[in-house]
Amino acid sequence: MTSIDAFDGRDGQEPDDGLPPLLRRPAPVADPQPVTRLRGARRALQENPDTSLDEAAANAVTSGAVDPARLRALVAGEPVSLLTAKPVVGGTLYATAPHDRYLDLDVLPDFINQRWADQLRTAMDAAPPTSLVTSYETLTDPETGEPIAVFTVRMHDRKALASAVSESMLNTFYAQKGENDYTQSVLQQGVKEPLTLFAMRVVYDDGSEDTFLIAGDGNSRLVSMWLARTGGDIYQAISACISTVIGSTDQPGERSRAEQGAARRRVAELTARTRKNLAAPVLTEATRREGHTLAFPATVVVGARSDSGEPLADLVAARDDLLANLHVHVTAWTPGAQNTQGMQRVYRHAHREGLVTPDVHRVLSGTVGAQAMHELLGVPAHRLWSAAVHQHAVLAGPHADAMNRLIKQEFGMGKADRQRVSERLAPMALSDYRSQEGIEQPLRAFGNGGTITDTVWKQPWELTKGEDTFEVLDDILERAVAGETGAVAELTVLGGTAAILDGYITRDRGSKEGTDREARKAPFRATPVKLLDLLARSAGGLRMLHSIARAHVAANPTVLPKLFHTQDREIDGVLVRDGEPMLDKAGQQMIIDYEWDLVHAADPAQALETIAKNRAEAKAKTGGKHQEPEAEDVRLRRTLEQGITSAAKAARALARMSQRRGNQVFGTFDAVQGQREQLSQLAEILTKFGPVDTSLFVFDEDEEDTE
């Protein structure tokens, strides 16, 4: 048995996990008032001309206020409205002034926190998401037919809602390596900066409805308050939040009045107990945890109006714009999160302007699977075509200029060239491959210009419809080789995307150019756009793109991408033609193993010229002494050894951390189980294919008996 005490190194050392020094003493919080005393505040809220809430949403806003009288004064429209106007694209949001609210009453985390939206698996991913991608919509008043300042979201039942909350809190906790965990700050001084909340209507499949407030700005602080309340364990925080705010998940739909009344009584017990314990000169741990998490300051969005004075039709876009001003343009989110959020807004604007159809928008949103995409659009049921749908929507005419305008508008760019467009498009175009191991490299390659050649960008081309993926690819190839420009563009997108995903095309970089055939090297430097442009100019290049796409779709080790000649030239006295298979000395067609092979085949003349130049330069630097490149097996052995050493070191460090912080430091059970399976597979590979200890020998009992 392995002993934790035997672990060496400083990686596992943890600071004292006791409470941090107190910077601000918790303030006593009043008991929640009976709901009958909230009617005045609710009436004032609904009568304000700048608000647009229905009665259920107004109830949610007033029920969680610590001081209903103060809230009433803040939301009254007479003699003057104190609501704060927040300009957004297309209109204005109206929010209350900051006021204190109970953490335990009707407040939930944001389900679609954009900080980690670029990591969510879509419905078309090979590793399906643990839950469906949640999308908010603007609620329409059934009586007037006008939109109001309330989100609506459909859920199967309470368990589905709880699952969405759980996923949100986990992703928020682990996002950006835990940099958004403010638990220690909450324990020191509570939450001082107001959160921004929105009203949300949950519609269950049984027809019942429930209304909550969800965090917009401040989601990390909301999660941190539950962490501070429960002792820092994310799973305990999730359980507490769900049971307190949503209630029992064994119940099917909306919370009953009895459940809501019981929740208010529990809060009253908590506030009374904390007030009593705050009178002590020295605070206990429980008093600090409860005192600093009883209530928090917040502003609530209660109205939305367009520039023309009409009700705002798209509250989702307004919310995203508000958060972009608070975070994307100010706080350093990861580029993937920024670009994902921005492109989602671009798609919504494009849908509203009629640049993409509702069916296309469903595919772009990631909420439909491969078969559903085929039924909606007619293209083959494979996620490679989903990537193509994204590229067609943004790059192909006649709407390419309008999409370019939306991208410049969204990201504040004076010019949206290939590089900038590809960087923004990458996390969405490859969104159905987020579970792919090493997806970061394809994202970098796609962001380096991607497939945006002159034939693809702002030119008329369409996606070929059909059921059989291979028949569709063969048809595209036949038309492309015959010179049909639209087919060339389509094959560039499909084959180029597959080549990027499978590592045959990578981003341009200084260390890429080499003199010998090996992984991560190329005979000459070329951006993905330049390489794809070279391939698309020859019959052999088009056939290689077709072969790469076929191999990608087949996902079968027996179906491999093949090499073709791209120039008419003489090799060892034999004349070869553009488009002919590239054969080895055994007469077999050669396989594309590395990016080197594809680049070399794309332009053999430039490849040989560049290799000769680089070898001459290297020879001059070494005084004529030839330096043998590191053998591929040597490099791979070194990579294997370093990876195992690093993994073992990290596991020991996490094991030591778990002694203080619990086993949740290892992540979720599913993640750990996946790691165990990977380690087991690695052990099997080493056992099956690795060398045998020749010092061991086996007695043959039959031979012993005959002697």
CB under 8 Å to 346, separation ≥6 — which residues?
A: 403, 406, 407, 410
| Three-class DSSP category at 87 | strand
pTM value? 0.74
Place of tokens 């293209």: 379
The rounded distance, in Å, linking the Cα atoms of 111 and 194 is 19
Residue 582 is predicted with a pLDDT of 96
String of b and e for 1-32 (b: at least 16 CB within 10 Å)? Answer: eeeeeebeeeebeeeeeeeeeeeeebeebbbb
Q: How does residue 316 score in pLDDT terms, banded at 50, 70 and 90?
A: confident
Place of tokens 């939306």: 406
| Three-class DSSP category at 513 | strand
Does a cis peptide bond (omega within 30 degrees of 0) precede residue 87?
no
Does 462 score more than 50 pLDDT?
yes
Q: What is the mean pLDDT of residues 235-262?
A: 93
The helix (H) or strand (E) run that includes residue 298 is strand 295-306
Per residue in 365-419, pLDDT tens?
888 999 999 999 999 999 999 999 999 999 998 899 999 999 998 888 888 899 9
Does 484 score more than 90 pLDDT?
yes
**Pure H helices in 514-631:** 528-536, 539-554, 595-602, 604-621
Tokens coding 102? 């109970």
Other Cβ atoms closer than 10 A to 597: 20
CA angle 227, 230, 235 (to 5 degrees): 70
Parallel/antiparallel/unpaired status of strands 99-102 and 295-306 = antiparallel
The rounded distance, in Å, linking the Cα atoms of 518 and 405 is 42
On average, the pLDDT of the chain sits at: 88
Choose from 7-21, 108-122, 359-373, 659-673 the range with maximum mean pLDDT. Answer: 359-373
Does 152 score more than 60 pLDDT?
yes
Per residue in 344-373, pLDDT tens?
889 988 998 999 999 999 999 888 999 999
Q: How does residue 129 score in pLDDT terms, banded at 50, 70 and 90?
A: low
The rounded distance, in Å, linking the Cα atoms of 259 and 530 is 64
| Three-class DSSP category at 586 | coil
The domain segmentation of the chain, as residue ranges, is 40-325, 334-621
Q: Residues 278, 106, 264, 71: is their CA dihedral positive or negative?
A: positive
